[in-house]
Structure formats: structure tokens, C-alpha cells
């Protein structure tokens, strides 16, 4: 990230407006490399900045793994609330660039959702070129025939309203009405529409993994930062 002016840095990390940042500087609350700094125009290394003696909160950006609970929407529009972003601290919600989800899950889908303010990462991981495998667990209102495995694997299923067929997808039957589906793309409501195309309605849907990442024992509604190893695996 290119060097930012001190007032811009504080406001982009969600601390305050640029105007308030200038007041904080005048009041002597900000130091850079151990010395009080009053000039809003300097462009310090974020790691050297302290506010009231405290280091900046994730100045290099956020990359979070959330276990999305049911009933929350992946949107920044308060009218569509409750929102997944309501789970985050207010300062993170005030960052610019905004913390946003890498792809979306429906309101009534639970599971693994990545949140970040690294805009470039959002573009890269949601690009159709990237083909990140994502595993979904679904339960349905009708028995699932083993013939569906070939139907989904063939890469010929055309969803209602689409011109291009879905890419080949791996279906694993877990029970009469329960299955795991691995997708490498992310069309709108894709899992629900794929099952609907074969005559079954999805009753519950949960995303268990995104590329190399899984939820482990993260509780619904909880989030954590990615470990350096997970970040490297995601970028590989």
C-alpha cells in the first residue's frame, strides 16, 4: 500500500475523520517513532505510529475467516440488516477501503466466509479465472439419486436464466437427502439452483471450506484472523 498522510491513515483505519485526526495531532496524542508528531501531512511507516501510546489497529489490513450464522446478509446496506458486518467492531466497520466479503453467502446459508479490506484479494479470489474449490453441505426435501453425481460432473447443466452450463462439480452423497457439493465457480444461488434444476429443493446449506481453508471449531458468529500459513496457502 502506498504511503498515506498521517491524517488520512488514521481516518482510513476507522479511528476518526481527517478533521478529528488533525485535532488529535494538535493535542499531542500521536507519536511517530517515539516522538510527538503534529504535522498531518507526514507519511510515516504505520508500524511506527502510536495513538495515546497504542500501536495502530491492523494498519496493513484485515483478512478474517468468519463462521457466518444463519439470518445475516452479506451486504453493507443497513436496510438489508442484520448484516454480517454487524459482527465486527465499529472501528473495523469504519475502515476505508471497506471490509467486504470475498464472494457472498445467502442470508439462509451458514459457514465459511472470508472478510477483508484487501480489494485486490477480493478481485483475485472472486475472478472466474481463479477457480477456488468451495465445499457446500446441503440437505434437500427429496431423495437424491446417485445419477446426480454424473449429472453435476458432466459440466452440461444449464441453470434457469443462464446461457453457459455450470462447470463440472463433484457431488458426494452423504445420506438419502444430504450431500456435499464442490464448486469451482460462484453463480448467484448456484447450489440451490443446481439442485432445483434436478427437482430437489435445498432445505439447509452450509459452506464447509473455501480453497485450503476450513472452519475447524470456530463457533457460528465467531471470526478469527488467517494464520500466515493460511494466507500463503490462499495466495498459492
Q: Which residues are catalytic?
A: 106
How far apart, in whole angstroms, are the C-alpha atoms of residue 10 and residue 24? Answer: 10
Among 67, 73, 101, 109, binds ligand URA (CB under 6 A): 109
DSSP states of 136-194: EEEEESSPPPTHHHHHHHTT-PPPTT-SSPPPP-EEEEEETTEEEEEESS--TTHHHHH
Encoded one letter per residue, x for contact with ligand URA by CB under 6 A and - for no contact, window 26-65 reads: ----------------------------------------
Stretch that binds ligand URA, among 1-9, 41-49, 56-64, 184-192 (CB under 6 A): 184-192
Q: Which residue, 28 or 155, has its beta carbon nearer to ligand URA?
A: 155
Residue 180 touches ligand URA, criterion: CB under 6 A: no
How far apart, in whole angstroms, are the C-alpha atoms of residue 149 and residue 169? Answer: 8
| C-alpha count within 13 angstroms, C-beta hemisphere, residue 121 | 21
Grid cell for residue 55: 500501536
Q: Which residue, 28 or 165, has its beta carbon nearer to ligand URA?
A: 165
How far apart, in whole angstroms, are the C-alpha atoms of residue 226 and residue 208? Answer: 16
Q: Which residue, 49 or 138, has its beta carbon nearer to ligand URA?
A: 138
Contact partners, residue 177, CB within 8 Å, separation at least 6: 139, 140, 141, 142, 143, 144, 203
Closest CA to 182 of 143, 136, 138: 136
Among 148, 191, 215, 234, binds ligand URA (CB under 6 A): 191
Say whether 22 sits in a helix, a strand or coil: helix
Among 189, 214, 220, 221, binds ligand URA (CB under 6 A): 189
Encoded one letter per residue, x for contact with ligand URA by CB under 6 A and - for no contact, window 60-99 reads: ----------------------------------------
Q: Which residue, 177 or 189, has its beta carbon nearer to ligand URA?
A: 189
Residue 4 touches ligand URA, criterion: CB under 6 A: no
Show contacts with ligand URA in window 192-211 (CB under 6 A): 192, 205
User: Chain centroid to CA 227: how far?
Assistant: 15
Q: Which residues contribute to the site for ligand URA (CB under 6 A)?
A: 105-106, 109, 189-192, 205
Amino acid at each position: 500500500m502506498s504511503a498515506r498522510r498521517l491524517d488520512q491513515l488514521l481516518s482510513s483505519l476507522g479511528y476518526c475523520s481527517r478533521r478529528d485526526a488533525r485535532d488529535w495531532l494538535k493535542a499531542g496524542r500521536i507519536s511517530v517513532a517515539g516522538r510527538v508528531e503534529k504535522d498531518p501531512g507526514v507519511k510515516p511507516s504505520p508500524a511506527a505510529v502510536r495513538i495515546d501510546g497504542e500501536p495502530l489497529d491492523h494498519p496493513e489490513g484485515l483478512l478474517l475467516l468468519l463462521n457466518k450464522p444463519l439470518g445475516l446478509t452479506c451486504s453493507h446496506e443497513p436496510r438489508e440488516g442484520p448484516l454480517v458486518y454487524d459482527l465486527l467492531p465499529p472501528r473495523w466497520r469504519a475502515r476505508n477501503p471497506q471490509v467486504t466479503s470475498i464472494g457472498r453467502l445467502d442470508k439462509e446459508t451458514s459457514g465459511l466466509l472470508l472478510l477483508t479490506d484487501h480489494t485486490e484479494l477480493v478481485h483475485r479470489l472472486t475472478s472466474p479465472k481463479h477457480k477456488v474449490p468451495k465445499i457446500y453441505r446441503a440437505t434437500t426435501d427429496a431423495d437424491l439419486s446417485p445419477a446426480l453425481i454424473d449429472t453435476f460432473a458432466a459440466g452440461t447443466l444449464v441453470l434457469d436464466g443462464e446461457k453457459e452450463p455450470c462447470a463440472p462439480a463433484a457431488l458426494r452423497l452423504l445420506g438419502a437427502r444430504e450431500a456435499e457439493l464442490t464448486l469451482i465457480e460462484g453463480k448467484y444461488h448456484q447450489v440451490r439452483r443446481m439442485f432445483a434444476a434436478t427437482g430437489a429443493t435445498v432445505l439447509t446449506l452450509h459452506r464447509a471450506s473455501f480453497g485450503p481453508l476450513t472452519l475447524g471449531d470456530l463457533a457460528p458468529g465467531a471470526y478469527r484472523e488467517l494464520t500466515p500459513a493460511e494466507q500463503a496457502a490462499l495466495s498459492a
